[in-house]
């Protein structure tokens, strides 16, 4: 049995998901889907910054292009922390492809001339 | 009369953050080709630049963007238009006649505008304003300042952190500092409910097992030079300390996420009427302040939960300011005043100029959480609309739309009813 | 070998340094904090009292009345904000009213300019006084001053005239050999004369040398500071009458347009404890409502506490028990108002120990601080054209440009910390309390002082603001 707060909408239903993936406490279908996913394969988009060279700014904001498994958050952060880029950079540039084989890339979130 | 200013603009927008960008673009698109945007920083986008987390743009672009990405889309749009932009330009004075004095690295300038849009954003409530007692050491700072140090300058402010206030910036910073290697020991919230979005409670606190202490506040700050320790304490329903509920945390950092206040020294100096609850200017349904031709939008008007709402509002304000310039003012013959009653903290706008057609959108916040209630609108005491709501939260601004056809001169009230 | 070592750079140490800088002397000032005027001198009522209330015959009474008269000219020479706004001590009941007559007599005996004003005149002079007011004691020569500017200006001018300043250095003990040996946590210096202006720690310094032991007790005063606002409010310094109901507090404007409400008064044990306490501050406000009917608490921007060095004599302790070693301690209120006269008195004591010869090149004038905010638009424009950084506003609450900040860093006795800049230019003093500008301030300080941003502190020592860069090990 797992207890969750649903984040699909602002209402914040208190969900309970049992071992057979039955969801209770939800008030809509989307809540049920969320509950099941959160228990079977929770994922998160990670946002952070990387070292930026050759610019008046010292950090460049980045994100994972797709959500990555929640259990890998700190492993992915360790990879992000190793990245160094040099300006110019364009928003959407891929800085690291397929990070830790998650299928997600680390991409730039800002253009720097 | 002798002209004693450098240039005359149709519209001058003060502030190049999310509100100012949207207002400048929509003024231009509404037919005003002589628009100047003044921004105090060396870049456009305002606070969005330090909000590297995602969740922006779901309403506007139907996708989840980070703050810098959201800003860049608007900056790109702005650049497609012939809108004049001055960076590192700080406005120091405006007058009722819409003269503007600003300073930049080229000189001290005096210009004039037919309409001014104030999009100056907000400031964070500080330790002094919430009167947290104790030592005056370093390591106590607002969450937004720590966010700027972390995301823009690339510095971590501390390694053991406690957060006062469950506002969204505090929650977001709990996650960001955790990801960058700090240990966040907890978040204390004075009220019995959180002021942040559920999604942030789940993904910023629960994901990292950071405890949220509801009905708690910081009672004492201890540290000679740098913060060493804080004491938190439970509060009762009258917000008094509950005896023997002290908890100590050895931390080097206390972040304050205890609210945002519209920042309007320019408007206050010239006597613009201010709203006692929002702390921003009073505006009418055309977003005009008590001084004709001076408009306000964004977090400088009232604090929004989502940047998408700021964009929508500012777009509307750009259109209103354009209309003011093109038509030399508004038809203010039929007036409706708007008053919040039971359960409602504030409503904007507080004054509506009635038109024959169209709709009017109100924004309001409730003053405590509600479940399964109705919002009742009454015109001069008679109910004109009842809307069922499964939940209402203080953290969430409600958009409420009424048809102009339902309205006539007099007073409109809104209230929350348990049915 | 120094002629004179001054221990402590509070308002008294700074004043004495500047007064002695007139003469051909080799002077060193040693201060344990990261800036001058950081202890008692930084957290007080910022009042130049007229001198009507100390007991006649005390050093307090003598030096206060004299000091009060010296301020206007000194502030002009040093470009320090000073305003003779006058004080009103307000009676609201029979007991207080009686006390007012006693204060009038005391003031006259001390040689302070005082007179009683009746209710009608009082309400005309100061419409924000409580409607319950009966009469008031008016002291027209009482003034308000910016104590941060004062200490900095005194030391800057002293240094312009050759005085040396060591900050972040703590005096551990003073010994007497042929000359005096001053031992610090960083070294040893000898001097012919040592002047002990070590504030709350003045007893430690004195006791390290003299057999006759003294004890100073910290007395804490807590205040509310209100932002500047557009509506009119009090213009005089308003005092309540000390009575059986309480020791009295003040409500006063500051030279920067802010307002002070306070202080409390409590003896404490810890000489570094400047923490604030909400119950005490609540009582302060209650006290203040005896003299005004409205305190706009929505404008509170911060609370603070300061410590006074109390000596059991309840008077200043200015003596030379051992030839060449001068104590200037126990300088609680009215220490600030008395400071110019205290410095003159000390100079005359020094003159008995060593010969004082005036310098030909002594310059009492300090180059004024650059404050664009108070200049005309034409002047502003001209200055920005000469130096574009004057056009780049960093602190928008107080309207301070990067050019002004750089100037305040590179003067003698320049700012090295965030608090140091705040004291000199008010950066971060406003509504946002640094929320908008602190990161920019840190960057400018780091660049100008050739340091990394993380090595810039709030107020010296271990008061770091940034722990480390991200993305490192």
Residues above pLDDT 70, as percent of chain C: 99
Q: Does A66 touch chain B (CB under 8 A)?
A: no
| Alpha-carbon distance A113 to nearest alpha carbon in chain C (angstroms) | 22
pLDDT at C473: 61
The rounded distance, in Å, linking the Cα atoms of C226 and C57 is: 37
Residue B2: inside a domain, yes or no? Answer: no
Q: Is B294 found in the same domain as B229?
A: no
**Average pLDDT of chain A, as a whole number:** 94
DSSP string, C192-217: EEEEE--GGGHHHHHHTT-SS---EE
Q: Does C266 touch chain B (CB under 8 A)?
A: no
In CATH, the architecture of C1-368 is: 3-Layer(bba) Sandwich (3.50)
pLDDT at C62: 97
Kindly list the residues from chain C whose CB atom is less than 8 angstroms away from the CB atom of residue B129: 300-301
Residue B88: inside a domain, yes or no? Answer: yes
Kindly list the residues from chain A whose CB atom is less than 8 angstroms away from the CB atom of residue B201: 5
* CB nearest to A58's CB, from B54, B154, B180: B154
* Catalytically annotated residue among C49, C228, C236, C311: C49
Residue B349: inside a domain, yes or no? Answer: yes
Contact C453, C438 (CB under 8 A): no
pLDDT at B331: 82
Residue B322: inside a domain, yes or no? Answer: yes
Sign (positive/negative) of CA torsion C40, C42, C45, C46?
positive
Residue B205: inside a domain, yes or no? Answer: yes
User: What mean pLDDT comes out for the span C38-63?
Assistant: 94
pLDDT at C176: 96
Strand pairing partners for C90?
C136, C240
Strand pairing partners for A59?
A51
Tokens of C422: 């705040």
Q: Does A51 touch chain C (CB under 8 A)?
A: yes
Structural domain boundaries in chain A: 2-40, 44-108
* Structure confidence by residue, pLDDT tens digits, C248-307: 799 999 999 999 999 999 999 999 999 999 899 999 999 999 999 999 998 998 999 999
Instruction: Count how many domains chain B has.
Output: 3
pLDDT at C244: 65
The rounded distance, in Å, linking the Cα atoms of C386 and B106 is: 10
Q: Does A88 touch chain B (CB under 8 A)?
A: no
Residue B1: inside a domain, yes or no? Answer: no
User: What mean pLDDT comes out for the span B238-256?
Assistant: 96
Q: Does A90 touch chain C (CB under 8 A)?
A: no
* CB nearest to B145's CB, from C303, C438, C453: C438
Q: Is C55 a catalytic residue?
A: no
Q: Is B130 found in the same domain as B254?
A: yes
The rounded distance, in Å, linking the Cα atoms of C177 and C184 is: 16
Answer whether B265 sits within 8 Å of C431, measured CB to CB: yes
The residue of chain A with its CA nearest to that of C471 is A81
Residue B369: inside a domain, yes or no? Answer: yes
CATH of A44-108, one of 3.40.50.170, 3.90.1170.50, 3.10.530.10, 3.40.50.300: 3.10.530.10
**Alpha helical stretches, state H, B278-405:** 307-327
The residue of chain B with its CA nearest to that of C473 is B181
Domain boundary at B330, B350, B383, which?
A: B330
Residues 195-214 on C with a CB inside 8 Å of B are: none
Tokens of B163: 């957060």
* CB nearest to A10's CB, from B52, B151, B198: B198
Structural domain boundaries in chain C: 1-368, 372-455
CATH of the domain at B362: 2.60.40
* Structure confidence by residue, pLDDT tens digits, A72-88: 999 999 999 999 999 99
Q: Is B158 found in the same domain as B85?
A: no
Contact B187, B174 (CB under 8 A): yes
Residues 222-261 on C with a CB inside 8 Å of B are: 225, 229-230
pLDDT at B2: 57
Answer whether A7 sits within 8 Å of B53, measured CB to CB: no
| Alpha-carbon distance A15 to nearest alpha carbon in chain C (angstroms) | 37
**B163-to-B136, B178, B236, B258 alpha-carbon distances in Å:** 17, 12, 20, 10
Q: Is B269 found in the same domain as B162?
A: no
User: What mean pLDDT comes out for the span B248-263?
Assistant: 96
Hey, which chains touch A, using 3+ CB pairs under 8 Å? B, C
The rounded distance, in Å, linking the Cα atoms of B61 and B71 is: 12
**How many CB contacts within 8 angstroms connect chain A with chain C?**
7
Answer whether A27 sits within 8 Å of B390, measured CB to CB: yes
| Alpha-carbon distance B382 to nearest alpha carbon in chain C (angstroms) | 37
Is residue C396 over pLDDT 60? yes
* Nearby residues of B85 by Cβ (< 8 Å), 6 or more positions away: B16, B36, B37, B39, B44, B78
Q: Is B249 found in the same domain as B350?
A: no
Kindly list the residues from chain B whose CB atom is less than 8 angstroms away from the CB atom of residue C458: 137-138
Q: 3-state secondary structure string, B200-221?
A: HHHHHHHHHCCCEEECEEEEEE
- Predicted confidence band of residue C247 (pLDDT cuts 50, 70, 90): low
Kindly list the residues from chain A whose CB atom is less than 8 angstroms away from the CB atom of residue C471: 49-51, 81
Kindly list the residues from chain C whose CB atom is less than 8 angstroms away from the CB atom of residue A81: 470-471
Helix (H, G, I), strand (E, B) or coil at B322: helix
Is residue A61 over pLDDT 80? yes
User: What mean pLDDT comes out for the span B254-262?
Assistant: 95
* Structure confidence by residue, pLDDT tens digits, B175-196: 999 999 999 999 999 999 888 8
Answer whether B103 sits within 8 Å of C393, measured CB to CB: yes
Mutation to test the A interface, candidates B177, B199, B208, B210, most A Cβ within 10 Å = B199
Kindly list the residues from chain C whose CB atom is less than 8 angstroms away from the CB atom of residue B299: none
Give the pTM. 0.93
Q: Does B64 touch chain A (CB under 8 A)?
A: yes
* Boundaries of domain holding B76: 8-123+261-330
- Predicted confidence band of residue B250 (pLDDT cuts 50, 70, 90): very high
* Structure confidence by residue, pLDDT tens digits, C418-432: 999 999 999 998 888
Does ipTM exceed 0.85? yes
Hey, which chains touch B, using 3+ CB pairs under 8 Å? A, C
């Amino acid at each position: 049995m797992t207890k969750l707060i649903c984040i699909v909408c602002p209402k914040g239903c208190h969900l309970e998901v049992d071992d057979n993936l039955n969801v209770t406490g939800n008030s809509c279908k989307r809540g049920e889907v969320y509950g099941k996913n959160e228990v079977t394969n929770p994922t998160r988009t990670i946002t952070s910054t990387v070292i930026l060279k050759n610019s008046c700014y010292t950090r460049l904001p980045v994100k994972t292009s797709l959500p990555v498994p929640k259990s890998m958050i700190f492993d992915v952060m360790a990879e992000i922390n190793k990245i160094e880029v040099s300006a110019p950079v364009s928003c959407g540039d891929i800085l690291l492809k397929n990070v830790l084989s998650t299928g997600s890339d680390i991409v730039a979130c800002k253009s720097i001339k | 009369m002798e002209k004693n200013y450098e240039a005359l603009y149709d519209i001058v927008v003060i502030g190049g953050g999310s509100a100012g960008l949207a207002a400048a673009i929509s003024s231009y698109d509404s037919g005003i080709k002589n628009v100047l945007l003044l921004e105090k920083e060396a870049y456009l986008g305002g606070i969005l630049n330090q909000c590297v987390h995602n969740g922006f743009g779901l309403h506007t672009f139907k996708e989840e963007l980070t703050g810098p990405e959201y800003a860049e889309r608007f900056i790109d749009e702005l650049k497609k238009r012939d809108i004049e932009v001055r960076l590192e330009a700080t406005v120091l004075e405006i007058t009722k006649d819409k003269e503007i004095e600003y300073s930049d690295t080229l000189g001290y300038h005096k210009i004039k505008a037919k309409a001014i849009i104030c999009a100056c954003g907000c400031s964070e409530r500080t330790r002094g304003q919430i009167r947290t007692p104790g030592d005056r050491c370093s390591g106590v700072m607002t969450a937004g300042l720590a966010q700027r140090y972390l995301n823009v300058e690339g510095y971590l402010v501390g390694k053991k952190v406690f957060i006062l206030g469950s506002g969204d910036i505090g929650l977001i910073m709990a996650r960001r500092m955790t990801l960058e290697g700090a240990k966040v020991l907890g978040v204390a919230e004075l009220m019995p409910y959180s002021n942040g979005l559920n999604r942030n409670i789940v993904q910023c606190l629960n994901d990292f097992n950071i405890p949220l202490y509801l009905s708690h506040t910081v009672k004492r700050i201890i540290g000679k030079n740098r913060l060493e320790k804080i004491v938190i304490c439970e509060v009762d329903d009258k917000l008094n300390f509950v005896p023997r509920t002290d908890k100590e945390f050895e931390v080097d950092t206390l972040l304050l996420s205890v609210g945002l206040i519209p920042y309007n020294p320019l408007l206050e100096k010239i006597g613009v009427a201010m709203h006692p609850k929002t702390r921003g200017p009073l505006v009418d349904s055309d977003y005009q302040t008590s001084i004709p031709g001076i408009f306000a939008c964004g977090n400088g008007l009232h604090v929004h939960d989502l940047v998408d709402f700021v964009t929508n509002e500012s777009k509307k304000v750009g259109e209103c300011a354009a209309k003011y310039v093109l038509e030399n003012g508004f038809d203010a013959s039929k007036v409706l005043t708007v008053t919040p009653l039971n359960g409602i903290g504030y409503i904007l706008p507080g004054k509506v100029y009635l038109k024959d057609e169209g709709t009017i959108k109100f924004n309001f916040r409730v003053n405590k959480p509600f479940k399964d209630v109705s919002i009742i609108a009454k015109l001069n005491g008679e109910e004109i609309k009842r809307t069922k709501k499964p939940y209402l939260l203080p953290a969430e601004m409600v958009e409420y739309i009424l048809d102009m056809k339902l309205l006539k001169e007099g007073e409109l009230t809104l209230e929350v009813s348990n049915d | 070998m120094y002629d004179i070592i001054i221990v402590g750079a509070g308002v008294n140490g700074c004043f004495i340094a500047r007064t002695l800088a007139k003469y051909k002397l080799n002077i060193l000032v040693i201060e344990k904090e990261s800036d001058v005027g950081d202890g008692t001198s930084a957290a007080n009522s910022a009042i130049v009292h007229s001198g009507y209330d100390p007991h006649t015959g005390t050093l307090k009474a003598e030096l206060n009345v004299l000091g009060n008269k010296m301020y206007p000219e000194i502030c002009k020479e040093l470009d320090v904000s000073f305003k003779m706004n006058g004080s009103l001590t307000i009676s609201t009941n029979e007991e207080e009213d009686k006390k007012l007559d006693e204060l009038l007599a005391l003031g006259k005996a001390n040689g302070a300019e005082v007179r009683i004003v009746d209710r009608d005149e009082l309400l005309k002079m100061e419409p924000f006084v409580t409607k319950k007011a009966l009469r008031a004691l008016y002291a027209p020569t009482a003034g308000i001053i910016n104590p941060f500017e004062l200490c900095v200006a005194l030391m800057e001018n002293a240094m312009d005239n050759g005085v040396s300043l060591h900050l972040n250095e703590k005096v551990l003990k003073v010994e007497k050999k042929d000359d005096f040996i001053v031992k610090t946590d960083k070294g040893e210096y000898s001097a012919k004369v040592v002047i002990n202006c070590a504030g709350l720690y003045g007893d430690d310094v004195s006791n390290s040398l003299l057999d006759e032991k003294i004890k100073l007790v910290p007395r804490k005063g807590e205040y509310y500071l209100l932002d500047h606002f557009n509506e009119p409010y009090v213009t005089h310094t308003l005092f309540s009458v000390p009575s059986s109901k309480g020791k009295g507090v003040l409500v006063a404007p500051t030279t920067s347009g802010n307002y002070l409400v306070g202080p409390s008064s409590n003896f404490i044990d810890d000489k570094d404890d400047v923490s604030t306490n909400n119950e005490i501050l609540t009582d302060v406000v209650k006290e203040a409502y005896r003299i005004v009917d409205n305190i706009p608490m929505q404008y509170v921007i911060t609370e603070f506490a300061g410590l006074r060095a109390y000596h059991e004599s309840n008077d200043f302790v200015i003596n030379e028990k051992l030839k060449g070693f001068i104590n200037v301690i126990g300088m609680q209120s009215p220490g600030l108002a008395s400071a110019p006269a205290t410095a003159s008195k000390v100079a005359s004591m020094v003159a008995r120990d060593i010969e004082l010869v005036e310098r030909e090149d002594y310059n009492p004038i300090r180059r004024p601080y650059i404050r664009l905010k108070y200049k005309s638009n034409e002047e502003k424009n001209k200055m920005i054209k000469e130096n574009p950084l004057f056009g780049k506003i960093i602190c928008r609450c107080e309207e301070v440009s990067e050019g002004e900040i750089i100037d305040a860093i590179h003067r003698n006795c320049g700012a090295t910390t965030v608090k140091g800049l705040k004291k000199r230019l008010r950066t971060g003093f406003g509504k946002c309390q640094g929320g908008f500008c602190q990161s920019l301030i840190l960057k400018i300080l780091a660049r100008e002082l050739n340091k990394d941003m993380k090595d810039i502190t709030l107020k010296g020592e271990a008061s770091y603001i940034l722990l480390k860069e991200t993305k490192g090990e």
